[in-house]
Amino acid sequence: MRADPHKLDVFYKSPSGILLSDILSRKLNSRWHDLSGQDVLGYGFCEKYLSSYKKTANRIILALPKVNLNRVDSGDMHATSCITEDLYLPFSDSRFDKILCVHSNVDPSNFDLLLKEFWRVLRPEGQIIIIASNSSGGWIKNMGPFSEEISFSRKELKNSLVNSGFQTTNLTGIIHLPYRNLSIKNRFLYIYENLSEIIFPYFSRVVLVEAIKRLYAEPNGTPESIRINTIISSNPLANKTLTEQREYD
């Protein structure tokens, strides 16, 4: 089932939605402390999560899939918005420093195609964060749009990112209880969330995965080892070892 845009609006204005967005925003801000001067793409329903960066980011662009959301409401975001056709993004290569993907409602069969588009428009060393429903947390009901969206396992998300050329840098489980009708003022909830991320990392309702666009990375998603090749040159100094070169200097 796909989240309806009207339901998203209603949910995020409810006490449960406000609490959920606050928990997720805190986790997002812990990964992206400062986006000053950066170009940011939000794909899906990202207004709530990018609003805190609107005064510092150089530009925020909200891209909404035509088959997903038929209304754009970003009047308080000072952001550029557009409706995309299918899964193709109308942006040039290496356009963005950061990409956030929330409530994209992408079918798993097309997910890799979307990731390849993200990789194309992301600058080298740029970062992407995907917040999605976790299939292992299906036992947690009443989580608004996350209970209705197509779920991914942690392994599926990581493998898809690696196969698309990304290197994963963080994989975190968030939301370990149904916070229906609970208050944002309840500090215990935040303490419980922090503990649950350590004790029950695989059984959350939502998963946040962060990855980086590395032009040179091993197929398994780990950083490529630095290799120093022997240099053959007519210059004798170039044929010396690093220790010999330092002694020469």
Strand partners, 211: 128, 168
**Per-residue model confidence as pLDDT tens for the chain (249 residues):** 455 677 888 888 888 888 889 999 999 999 999 999 999 999 988 988 999 998 899 999 999 876 544 444 444 445 677 777 767 898 999 999 999 999 987 888 889 999 999 999 999 999 999 999 988 877 677 777 888 888 888 999 999 999 999 999 999 998 887 776 666 666 777 787 888 888 887 888 899 999 999 886 555 554 443 333 333 333 443 334 444 444 444
* pLDDT value of position 110: 87
Question: What is the pTM for the complete model shown?
Answer: 0.79
Q: What is the pLDDT of residues 135-163, one digit of tens each?
A: 887 767 777 788 888 888 899 999 999 99
Q: How many angstroms separate the CA atoms of 4 and 105, rounded?
A: 10
* pLDDT value of position 1: 46
* pLDDT value of position 217: 55
* pLDDT value of position 71: 46
Please name the residues in contact with 23: beta carbons below 8 A apart, sequence gap of 6 or more: 174, 175, 179, 189, 190, 193
150: which DSSP letter?
A: P
Domain 5-248 has CATH 3.40.50.150: yes
Is the CB of residue 168 less than 8 Å from the CB of residue 161? yes
Q: In the chain, where are the structural domains located?
A: 5-248
